[in-house]
């Protein structure tokens, strides 16, 4: 299922907003994330082995670097962004005969090995006799009991509580929290969305976007900011680091997702590219337009100096 935006006249064509899964959107987000091989392949904490040395010709070295880039792109696969799952509240049967038989709930789980977890039947018999389907939290807990995944705990770790999250953010460990969240929760669960929202909000508040650059979480961050219409901080950060093309791609993505804004319509009319796009966005849409214009000038200055020299 692919949806394409139609940047045309509103009354003639129906607008279909692009989703996270669209190829165009993914392509832009992948380009914005960047590919810093030194950061992607930084040494991880593992059992120490003696180093291996290889003698290579230039060609072999280039081949090895290309292979590394492919591997890095696989590692930078973006985790899915899904809407929150609807809670399960289906009652299968009401058996008053069984009321008061026991004081505990009985949970029946289907532990057939070859079925996907989303098709697994898990039902709960309450002490009142009702037989109902298990809620999402109960499902996740029980699937972890019978089919344990490594590092995932049965009850979520204390790091996801408010105070601990604040402490972790103050130590700039956002990537660690997001990785833990990916391991612990399902992508459509409410805790996953809450943790991600809290992390993205903190990053936006303190302008710490560079922590997630060249990680798999950058796409999610950019998508969240674009949806919330708060991409000013990110654009300023990109311009400070001399990443003009990334800023331009981000603004283009913004226009794709919100085609009804003034800047999107003006950009479509003028068919602007690169710096003009940014200036149009800065004038029309952003709250920190002064900042963006300053940053643009600061970007143009070294280019002008290089031309003059």
Partner 1 sequence: MAASMQLIGNLLCRITPSILQPLRPFQSLQRIPGQPCLRTSPFMLPSHSFCNEASAEKAAKPKVVTSRYKDRPWDYLESEEYIEKYGTSSVWTGYRRNHKGGIPPQKTRKTCIRGVKVCGNPCPICRDPNIIVHHQNVKLLKQFINSETGIVYDPTRTGICMKQQKLLVKAVGTAKDHGFLTFQIPYVHFSEQDFSSSHDAVGKTPPPPSLSAGDSWYKWYGEIIPDETEVAKVKKIYADYLK
Does 159 interact with partner 1 (rule: CB under 8 A)? Answer: yes
Does 3 interact with partner 1 (rule: CB under 8 A)? Answer: no
CB of 246 to partner 1, least distance (A): 24
Hunting for tokens 């809407």 — which residue is that? 83
Q: What is the C-alpha separation between 258 and 264, in angstroms, rounded?
A: 7
Nearer to partner 1, 3 or 151 (CB): 151
Does 145 interact with partner 1 (rule: CB under 8 A)? Answer: no
**Hey, what are 45's tokens?**
């904490």
| Binding letters toward partner 1, positions 192-231, x by CB under 8 A | ----------------------------------------
CB of 139 to partner 1, least distance (A): 7
Helix count and strand count (H, E) for the chain:
13, 4
Cα-based angle 203, 137, 89 (whole degrees, multiple of 5): 120
Residue 204 in contact with residue 227, Cβ under 8 Å? no
Does 168 interact with partner 1 (rule: CB under 8 A)? Answer: yes
Does 85 interact with partner 1 (rule: CB under 8 A)? Answer: yes
**Rg from Cα positions in the chain:** 25
Residue 220 in contact with residue 79, Cβ under 8 Å? yes
Q: What is the C-alpha separation between 194 and 173, in angstroms, rounded?
A: 17
Interacting positions 229-248 with partner 1 (CB under 8 A): none
Does 165 interact with partner 1 (rule: CB under 8 A)? Answer: yes
Neighbours of 299 (CB within 10 A): 19
H/E stretch holding 202: helix 190-206
Q: Which of 12, 58, 70, 119 binds partner 1 (CB under 8 A)?
A: 119
Does 90 interact with partner 1 (rule: CB under 8 A)? Answer: yes
CB-based contacts of 139: which residues, under 8 Å, 6+ apart?
88, 117, 120, 122
Does 47 interact with partner 1 (rule: CB under 8 A)? Answer: yes
**Hey, what are 195's tokens?**
């943790």
Nearer to partner 1, 55 or 97 (CB): 97
Task: Give how many residues touch partner 1 by CB under 8 A.
Answer: 48
Nearer to partner 1, 48 or 307 (CB): 48
Does 116 interact with partner 1 (rule: CB under 8 A)? Answer: yes
Q: Which stretch binds partner 1 (CB under 8 A): 59-67, 131-139, 235-243, 252-260?
A: 131-139
Q: Which stretch binds partner 1 (CB under 8 A): 158-166, 190-198, 234-242, 297-305?
A: 158-166
Q: Which of 50, 97, 306, 307 binds partner 1 (CB under 8 A)?
A: 97
Classify 96 in phi/psi space as left (phi over 0), alpha (psi -120 to 50) or beta.
alpha
Neighbours of 186 (CB within 10 A): 18
CB of 74 to partner 1, least distance (A): 9
DSSP 128-186: TSEEEEPPHHHHHHHHHHHSPPTT--SS--GGGSHHHHHHHHHTT-HHHHHHHHHHHS-
Q: What does the binding site for partner 1 look like in residue numbers (CB under 8 A)?
A: 43-48, 75, 77, 79-80, 82, 85-86, 88, 90-94, 97, 116, 118-122, 133, 136, 139, 150-151, 157-159, 164-165, 167-168, 173, 176-177, 179-180, 182-183, 186-188
């Amino acid at each position: 299922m692919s949806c394409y935006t139609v940047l045309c006249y509103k009354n003639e064509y129906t607008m279909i907003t692009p989703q996270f899964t669209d190829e165009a959107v993914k392509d832009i987000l992948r380009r914005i994330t960047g590919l810093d091989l030194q950061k992607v392949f930084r040494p991880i904490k593992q059992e120490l082995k003696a180093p291996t040395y290889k003698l290579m010709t230039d060609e072999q070295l280039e081949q090895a670097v290309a292979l590394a880039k492919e591997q890095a792109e696989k590692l930078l696969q973006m985790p899915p962004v899904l809407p929150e799952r609807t809670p399960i509240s289906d009652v299968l049967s009401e058996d008053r005969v069984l009321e008061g038989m026991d004081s505990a709930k009985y949970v029946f789980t289907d532990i057939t090995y070859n079925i996907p977890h989303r098709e697994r039947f898990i039902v709960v018999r309450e002490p009142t006799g009702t037989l109902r389907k298990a809620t999402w939290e109960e499902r996740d807990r029980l699937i972890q009991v019978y089919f344990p995944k490594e590092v995932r705990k049965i009850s979520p770790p204390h790091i996801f509580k408010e105070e601990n999250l604040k402490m972790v953010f103050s130590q700039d460990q956002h990537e660690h929290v997001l990785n833990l969240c990916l391991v612990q929760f399902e992508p459509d669960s409410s805790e996953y969305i809450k943790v991600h929202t809290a992390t993205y909000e903190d990053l936006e508040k303190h302008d710490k976007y560079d922590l997630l650059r060249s990680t798999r979480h950058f796409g999610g961050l950019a998508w969240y900011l674009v949806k919330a219409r708060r991409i000013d901080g990110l654009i300023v950060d990109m311009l400070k680091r001399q990443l003009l093309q990334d800023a331009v791609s981000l603004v283009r993505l913004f226009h794709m997702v919100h085609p009804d804004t003034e800047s999107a319509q003006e950009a479509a009319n003028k068919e602007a590219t690169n710096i003009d796009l940014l200036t149009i966005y800065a004038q029309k849409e952003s709250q920190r337009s002064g900042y963006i214009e300053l940053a643009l000038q600061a970007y143009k200055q070294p280019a002008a100096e290089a031309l003059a020299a």
